[in-house]
Structure 1
Amino acid sequence: MSSAFEVRGGKSLSGEIIPQGAKNEALQIISAVLLTPEKVTINNIPDILDVNLLIELLGDIGVKVNRVSRAVCEFQADAIDFDYMHTPEFKKKSGRLRGSVMFAGPLLARFGKAYIPKPGGDKIGRRRLDTHIIGFQKLGAEFVYEADDNYFRLEAPAGGMKGTYMLLDEPSVTGTANIVMAAVMAEGTTTIYNAACEPYLQQLCKMMVRMGAKIEGIGSNLLTIQGVEKLGGCEHTMLPDMIEIGSFIGLAAMTQSEITIKNAGIQHLGIIPEKFQQLGIKMEFRGDDIYIPAQDSYEIQTFIDGSILTISDHPWPGFTPDLLSIVLVVATQAKGSVLIHQKMFESRLFFVDKLIDMGAQIILCDPHRAAVIGLNRQHKLKGITMTSPDIRAGVSLLIAALSAEGKSTIHNIDQIDRGYQYIDERLRALGADIKRL
């Protein structure tokens, strides 16, 4: 039996909240410990299911793991057990966790071989692995699908992988990360164009540079990598999670709360604060904290010519798709209308039926677009019983429930726990009425 949250909404919250370490950065950074036999220390690790499973999986394949605290962990990958990767346990465990695909790049770079299970993860539409595989093939790796065992096998050629020029068919964040990790020890120069340039990828590249890699163009979509023979240990601290920060900004507005988000890593947030400001949400930057005053009402801006605002996702430095669900929920209580256009995943908007049941005015135009007509708090949302389909929708529904009148029950909250650490405790500290059943 999966647990549920019981939420009594309609209360305004107040106080300070500290964002966790970035989930999407953690999955890449923690995989990169496989690049060296030396010790790697990682700080600000989010204590969430996906990350803990990945750390456990590293231990299973022979990495020495010392969890100094929930937020700090030391890794040493000096004795990798490839035999274990053929066992049904490994295939079952790694197949449940999408992040395990990130082991392929570093293992291929260091040992010339890797195994990838068919991936699991969020139900937000097809997420192809083609970008990863084609990148590995361009570096010279051979790729075989073992149909009987349902996994992919990768092998470097006899003389090792060779640097090359490649143009990615999409700026996939995990794809770019995996290819960069595979290329740092390939012979010669690798050039990756249309590379993802998210802050998390910049963090990974900076970490590998500290380990001895030679990478130029960090932060741009053109990366140039000079292969080196080996990498050494290092220490790395993860950025605060920008998706959590966006979620908290939205939460403050929806619940008319005065909230300070501490240590928000503002310089790494890109366009995120601006998008929430377009919804009419006021905020002040105080040092590295974001202060959101309690607001009775917030009005969605229009474009300069008066036409209705459209908010859509785009690869970095555009607006992250992970926050569109949050923006959509926040818009339901704003004054004015907005069109939410979710380009990158085709089933991310399939939670709006629950918001409509709560009383929101939303027209789902197609799987990618939803028009939201803000209620300007004329009609409060009503609490209902609902189920969370994926991590980001789960938190959007939680925010809706906290602002709604009456009691809401949210089932399948394992999805929320996969991405947000102790979310119920942290919200209770702000005064939220939330219980875990």
Structure 2
Amino acid sequence: MTFTQTHALRGRGRLGIRLAAVALAGATVVTLAPAAAMAAAPAGTAGASGISGTSGAEARAGGVDAQAELQAFIADGSSTAAFAEVRQNGRRIWRGAAGTSDLTTGQPVRPDGRFRIGSVTKTFVSTVALQLVAEGKLRLDEPVERYLPGVVPNGGAISVRQLLNHTSGLYDYLEDPRFFYRDEASLREYVYGPSRRQDYRPEQLVAIGVAHAPYFAPGQGWKYSNTNYVLAGMLIGKLTGNSWQREVERRIVKPLHLDDTVFPRSETGVRGPHAHAYAKLQEGPADITRLNMTVADAAGNGISTPADLNRFHAALFGGKLLRPAEQAELTRTVPTGSGHSSYGLGVAQADFGCGPLWGHDGGLPGWGTLLFGTADGKRQVALSYNPYEGTDQSGLDAAVVNVAIKTLCGGAAAPAGAVADAAAGLSTLRGASAAGATH
């Protein structure tokens, strides 16, 4: 979930598998196969559809033309599709798409399609938690034990704030060996076996996480852990009597008219137009679009569009969802171990070479997401791409950062080293660890 595999759910700063060589948004390196064994993407992925929702003049006026950056995702076969949208002052100033949404039919990518957002879900969940703080139902510095008695060992020493900013030390359940694959055989099991359709209850996921020793004592470090946000979802349920999904829909989705944003339960498909997700096997691409997202729960179970995510970012950072006191808590950050990033409550602050920007990234097997924008909510970019799992994805971090720089930094060329530095910061934000990471 960026910032996760049931035999594949894990890795790339995402709640998802990371089948190649570097993680983006807080992931650890998980190598599936030597570079020599990684073939190019199947025929059909190299085409582009530079569909723009604005005229060329408007795009130029906004200083945005990121089509070449989208092309970079598919040029080396590491992704099958990519699309993005940029908004400024509530108006779309550019959108584009590259690649193929369905390798069977050759259908081009639609820039308004839906996609799995992975750990960007965390920002929705933290926003609801902060609304509960404003209502006096939740206190950030109260222990988890007060709200979920007996659920977390040492829960009396772990605060709600430490869950939301990843300083609890709790082990990330998605780093448990049952959630990653190690080779093509275990990837094949993920593709064809029952794990992608398995139901999980949040209590099960937490139990897997707390069965492992914590990374550190509460408050004594920073480590991205999806366990934290499964617990946050449970907190919302306990305090409201409703599922976290229902509260996110009631408090955020409906008021903002995010009509293409959903937080499914056990449904495995993606409704509406969308690009498919694929894994590379010896016999060719295998469609891995279907996934039971209960494995991610409140840490990464969301589906949206670029337009909806941008509207959400604009409302959140424009002060429409939180009072000033809770807005300040949202953006009170802790260091992540990278000089280029820090983490607040479900949002990250990152520097792409033009000053601090705010947002989150996300990932799942075959899906990657980036949502970042300015602190005042006036400008944002939402990006979706489909990593071709099983291929060398070591260049994807730089491709993601290049889109952010092009669209959020005025279109100017990045300073020397900015791309590498920002990519390293994103990797940290996903919670890199020696064993492999997630997000």
TM category, shorter: under 0.3
- The structure with the largest alpha-carbon Rg is 1
TM-score by length of 1: 0.26
TM-score by length of 2: 0.25
Report 1 or 2 for greater relative contact order, CA contacts < 8 Å, sequence distance ≥ 6.
2
